[in-house]
Structure 1
Amino acid sequence: MSRYADLSRAELAAVVPELLLMGQLIDRSGMAWCIAAFGREEMLQVAIEEWAAASPVYTRRMQAALGYAPDVPGQGDVVTIFKGLQLDIGAPPQFMDFRYTVHDPWHGEFRLDHCGALMDVEPMGEDYVRGMCHDIEDPTFDATAIASNPHAQVRPIHRPPRTPVDRHPHCAWTVVIDDAHPEPEPVPALAVVERSRAATLALAPVDASDEGRSDYAGPLLSDLDFSTFSHSALVRIADEVCLQMHLLDRSFALAVAERTETDAELLKLRRKQLVGVAGIGAERLGRALGLDRLDPVEGAPRLLAAHPLLNPAEYVDAEVSGDTLVVRPGPADEDGAWISLCGPHWTAALQAVVRGLDAHLDVEVSPLAGEAGWQALVVRRDEPAPEASEVAVVRFSTGAAFEFQPRRSLPITPV
């Protein structure tokens, strides 16, 4: 049973966009350390391989979960593609403010009225802007689109560097599906990711009898109002978004492994990525769930239970009881996922999570007696811990303090 099932429908409606934004922040963490290790050009290649190997897998999973997969596999239209973007960690709502136009099933456009990723890289200079908005976006937009239709092409109308410097919208793109378009060659890592436990994990179907919206069939909406979805649907969405993160991390690990000489170097980079995103994500989740208003030792286990590090429950074999977390080997360990990096030998990620709620918190981690696995006890120290350098790196992103605003959810019809 999903750990998100313990949350109320209102709590889930607040948590889902937070999870989507947290997924975007994975790269604000990981790519900073890739630049330091490999340089800017190789960092760009890591990002391309990472997203191109993960997004086709998780895009198809979300289509199936919410009932908007094309009737014929691979024959989705632009509405299918746009719905997928609205539920993609690469395009978290409002932070990456996609606005859509549908001309007909095979032609559409989108623009970004606000691009949080651009806000993060613009201060770094034009080379970094071009790297993200040209080198990375060209292959990865197509990789996401071809999950719905292999003959889809995403092409720029205009994009940064911005001329003039305050140009709005930040960018605009066409999406055209045409059988004459050649099918792109998938990155080799895609086949590896498709065989992972995360890619093939079975989750409980959405209960159509639950109060609220159970799917995303019907028209494309300008903005998804997550409060209109049923509790059951929101639980499934939350679990799927966590799997998106694990699939992206799996792709990240594969790309980084190609560029490191030793397992120790790979492990170091993966752990730095995890600590940064785990800490900032924990801060945001804690606020969204109101856990910052509780006694920290009481709130920290609830925060751990909602954190993507431990979800979905079918993927990560973990149990939170009182102030103690117990973790046993599960499917996530077979993939070498985030939780496999943690344990008595390394506690920095768990510390980053609980300190996202209160800097005085810590974890005492020990092996389980007589069986495989480990347990972590949440404790409070007298002195606050300094912020981890990995968390400080992610805090530079505008996503760290981004605030979601209420939006009206309106149907989009062809124009």
Structure 2
Amino acid sequence: MSDAHASRFATLSREELARLVPELLLIGQLIDRSGMAWCISAFGREEMAQIAIEEWSGASPIYTRRMQRALGYQGTDVVTIFKGLQLDIGAPPQFMDFRYTVTDQWHGEFHLDHCGALMDVEPMGEDYVRSMCHDIEDPTFDATAVATNPRAQIRPLHRPPRSPVDRHPHCAWTVIIDESHPEVAPLPAYHHVATKRAADLVLEPIDPTDDGAGDYAGPLVSDVDFATFSHSALVRIADEVCLQMHLLNLSFVHAVRQRSTSEDQTREICRKQLVGIAGIAAERIHRALTLPVDEGGALRTLELHPLLNPAAYVVAEVTDGLLRVGPSPAHDDGDAWIGMCGPSETTALQAAVRAIDPRLDVEVDGSPGEWAARVVRREAAAAEADEVAVTRFSSGAAFAFEPRRSLPITPI
């Protein structure tokens, strides 16, 4: 294979990358819309909440620090925390519409003008709302903050269940950093995920001579305008966002395994999570980049799919009409998505290509760690996979981004 470390996102234009990065952030959020339905079915609501806590607390401190280093905004203050949230799959722009206020270096607030996750959960009832907005948010917000300052505390001013039922904004929180606060320590899941190849994967540095912003070292802005970043920076951001997804998935698999009665049950739940997100991600990527609705467009979509990126983590290439996958750090990690794809497991790849055209299919030859896939067209259209249909219940599946002005936020 050719150089596996050259980012596949580098083949996109700067304009295309600026459209794609928000899509990738939203796709990362939808991983839970895909996975948690199956956790509820297998283990119940309360255990689902514990899985979510372990999943996010295991991954977010690692990927938050990675993005800080990549974009040069490392610090210990409130602004650093807020910048991290803007580039976090847990808070995709507009769908999770965070609005920030900075009082000073150590004090700030944010509220959500729109919480897509709440819109998905509210119809399920107050118990599910409390699980998400109380049981899950408290420890996972602390886990995110610990990546910047272990003495940061994120605490609610108000949060759902909403009273009155149409209360707006959906929630509001204070962020206070104080030396008197006890230090927050990472939760146990973090120490498991930190051992994975994905955690310390080396990616190409941003070229500081490229046109456009090469970092986020300047002021905090209300809405990140990805079009202001350089091509090189956008490539790195796209790779980092895909890596966020892999880290979240590795943490998810670990949490599910702790509760499963067998390895077969673990694998089946995690396979369903992958199939659901594979289809929705392919649909959104294909639409955002206006790719052809044919076999070539499907291969190009796979080439840019989080399942196969970043290139330094998943060794793959498209040549001669084939997607070829080889041994890679993702295989070394054992629980990565790519390990659930191959000649005997085609459902995720099928979900991805059928999101483009239900008559498309894949034929896969090779071994579990080294295989080649060809996209083919069938006469009859296939039904949408149940796993994709479940993920589509989220309002995020059809969410449309709107133009926003990017304004600097100054302390009040």
TM-score range, shorter chain: over 0.9
Alignment of 1:38 with 2:43, yes or no, is yes
Shift of residue 372 of structure 1?
5.4
- Asked if 2 retains the 8 angstrom alpha-carbon contact of 1:2 and 1:239, the reply is yes
- Residues 1:173 and 2:173 are matched in the alignment: yes
- Give the conservation status (yes or no) of the 8 Å contact 1:367–1:374: yes
Matching residue within 373, 377, 381 for 1:380 = 377
Q: Structure 1 residue 395 and structure 2 residue 405: aligned?
A: no
1:103-122 equivalence runs, <5 A:
103-122=103-122
- For residues 56-98 of structure 1, what are the alpha-carbon distances to aligned partners after superposition, in whole Å with 9 as ceiling and x for unaligned? 000000000000012xxxxx10000000000000000000000
Please tell me whether the aligned partners of residues 146 and 185 of structure 2 are also in contact (alpha carbons under 8 angstroms).
no
User: Within the alignment, does 1:65 sit opposite 2:70 as a pair?
Assistant: yes
From 400, 403, 407, give the equivalent of 1:406. 403
Contact 2:150 2:185 in 1 (8 A): no
Pick from 45, 53, 61: which aligns with 2:58?
53
**Alignment check: 8 A CA contact 2:314 2:330 kept:** yes
Q: 1:323 deviation in Å? A: 2.4
Q: Counterpart in 2 of 1:14?
A: 19
Q: Is the 8 A contact 1:301 1:322 kept in 2?
A: no
The amino acid across from 1:248 in the alignment is: L
Map 1:212-361 onto structure 2 (within 5 A).
Answer: 212-291=212-291, 294-336=292-334, 337-361=336-360
Where structure 1 has 5 or more consecutive residues not aligned to the other structure, the ranges are 71-75
Q: What is the CA-CA distance between 1:298 and the residue it aligns to?
A: 1.5
CA distance in 2, matches of 1:322, 1:34: 40
Asked if the contact 1:365–1:375 (Cα under 8 Å) also holds between the matched residues in 2, the reply is: yes
Say if 1:181 and 1:228 are closer, same or farther in 2 by CA, change over 3 A: same
Identical residues among aligned pairs (%): 70
1:73 aligns to what? Answer: none
Amino acid at match of 1:340: G
SS in 1 for 2:203: coil
SS at match of 2:210: coil
Write the distance in 1 (CA, Å) between the matches of 2:111 and 2:187.
Answer: 27
- Aligned to 2:199, the other structure's residue is in SS state helix
Higher mean displacement: 186-195 or 110-119: 186-195
- Counterpart of 2:396 in structure 1: which amino acid? G
The amino acid across from 2:323 in the alignment is L
> In structure 2, do the counterparts of structure 1 residues 372 and 274 end up closer, same or farther at CA, with 3 Å as the change threshold?
closer
Deviation at 1:279, TM superposition (A): 0.4
For 1:329 and 1:266, the matched residues in 2 are separated by 23
Offset, 1:322 = 4.0
Alignment of 1:122-161 (within 5 A): 122-161=122-161
Deviation at 1:113, TM superposition (A): 0.2
Matches within 5 A, 1:191-202: 191-202=191-202
Aligned-partner residue type, residue 192 of structure 1: H
SS of aligned partner of 1:206: coil
What is the Cα deviation at residue 184 of structure 1?
Answer: 2.1
Number of corresponding residues? 406
Whether the aligned pair in 2 keeps the contact of 1:113 and 1:170 (CA below 8 Å) is yes
The amino acid across from 2:348 in the alignment is A
| Aligned mates of 2:321, 2:137 — CA distance in 1 | 43
Maintained 8 Å contact 2:293/2:357:
no
CA distance in 2, matches of 1:112, 1:303: 32
Give the distance between the partners of 2:122 and 2:50, measured in 1 at CA: 19
For residues 218 and 88 of structure 2, the distance between their equivalents in structure 1, rounded to whole angstroms, comes to 19
By how many angstroms is 1:100 displaced? 0.1
CA distance, structure 1, for counterparts of residue 216 and residue 294 of structure 2: 37
CA distance in 1 between partners of 2:74 and 2:321 (Å) = 41
**What is the alpha-carbon distance in structure 1 between the residues aligned to residue 189 and residue 125 of structure 2?**
30
SS state at 2:361 partner? strand
Deviation at 1:185, TM superposition (A): 3.2
Q: Which residue of 1 aligns with 2:3?
A: none
Give distance in 1, aligned partners of 2:153 and 2:27: 27
- 1:295, distance to aligned residue in structure 2 (A): 4.1
- Counterpart AA for 1:308: P
Could you list the runs of 5+ residues in structure 2 that have no partner in the other structure? 1-5
Q: Deviations over 1:153-199 (max 9, x none)?
A: 00000000111111110000000001111112321121111111001
Q: CA RMSD in A?
A: 0.9
